[in-house]
């Protein structure tokens, strides 16, 4: 519990109860016990501990990364899957690890050439996914906008069947399915003062294309995202691993 505010009685035994120890004899045992308490070699007094707590609370938002869009083909089909987005997590001593999954990668070359309704990447909480490639045109899927954290990439385009005198003389192409959006979660936690938390933010699935002239690349998913709000200040984090010590 938080120690009494200024103007109220505060004793060494109360400080001991909050910051630990047994039978404390002097305030010097609590140098640097909190970011507001002086370090060794400096003057220290009871008043330095008014309103302090050995625990700190913070809130967070975590967003998984978007999956890549499936690639398309101008002829033929596939059914394999493109790369999924990375998961995003926050962890630290004294709290349960919180994690959300990245979006699934889109299926490759299964979307009928005349139907692009499933080629756009799935939108996330932060914005739209990448646009899918056109049907009947050799166009790739688009990457999800970087500001659409967690959105999926667009599926690659396809090509129409070719007919001459009413006779089909090549196979229909097939487009890629748009990538899925990552999951999102919000929450809060209380940890001991001085705890270092680790924020790991997933990268978006990278769009690729099958080798050769038949391929229509899928778009890449957007990066994951995280925020930590502590002491009234919100800090944002994108793809990578980050650490922060909360005092």
Q: What is the pLDDT of residue 109?
A: 92
Euclidean distance between CA atoms 181 and 187, whole angstroms: 20
| Entry field: residues in the chain | 247
- pLDDT for 68 equals 98
With the CA atoms of 71, 77, 80 and 85 taken in that order, what torsion angle do they form, in degrees rounded to the nearest 10? 20
Domains in the chain: boundaries: 12-53, 54-247
Instruction: Strand 240-246: give its sheet, edge to edge.
Output: 98-100, 88-91, 195-201, 240-246
Q: What letter does residue 213 receive in the DSSP assignment?
A: T
Side by side, the strands of the sheet bearing 174-175 are: 111-112, 174-175, 72-73, 215-216
Residues (pLDDT < 70) of the chain are: 1, 137-138, 160-171, 212-213
Q: Is 0.85 topped by the overall pTM?
A: no
Residue 188, C-beta contacts closer than 8 angstroms, at least 6 positions apart: 57, 58, 59, 60
Beta-carbon contacts of 78 under 8 Å, excluding residues fewer than 6 positions away, are: 70, 71, 107, 108, 109, 110, 174, 210
- Residue 162: the pLDDT is 58
pLDDT of residue 26: 87
């Amino acid at each position: 519990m938080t120690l009494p505010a200024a103007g109220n009685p505060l004793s060494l035994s109360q400080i001991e109860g909050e910051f630990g120890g047994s039978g404390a004899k002097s305030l010097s045992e609590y140098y640097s016990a909190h970011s507001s308490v002086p370090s060794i070699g400096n003057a220290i007094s009871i008043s330095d501990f008014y309103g302090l707590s050995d625990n700190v609370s913070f809130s967070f938002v975590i967003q998984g990364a978007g999956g890549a869009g499936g690639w398309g083909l101008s002829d033929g089909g596939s059914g394999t899957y493109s790369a999924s987005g990375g998961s995003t997590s926050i962890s630290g001593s004294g709290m349960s690890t919180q994690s959300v999954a990245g979006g699934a990668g889109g299926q490759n070359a299964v979307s009928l050439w005349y139907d692009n309704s499933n080629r756009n990447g799935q939108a996330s909480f932060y914005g739209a996914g990448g646009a899918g490639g056109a049907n009947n045109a050799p166009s790739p899927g688009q990457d999800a906008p970087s500001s659409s954290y967690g959105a999926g990439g667009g599926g690659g385009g396809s090509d129409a069947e070719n007919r001459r005198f009413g006779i089909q003389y090549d196979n229909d192409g097939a487009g890629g399915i748009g990538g899925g959006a990552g999951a999102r979660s919000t929450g809060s936690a209380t940890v001991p003062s001085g705890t270092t938390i680790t924020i790991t933010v997933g990268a978006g699935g990278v769009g690729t294309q099958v080798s050769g002239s038949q391929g229509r690349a899928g778009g890449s998913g957007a990066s994951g995202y995280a925020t930590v709000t502590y002491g009234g200040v919100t800090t944002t984090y994108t793809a990578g691993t980050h650490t922060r010590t909360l005092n």
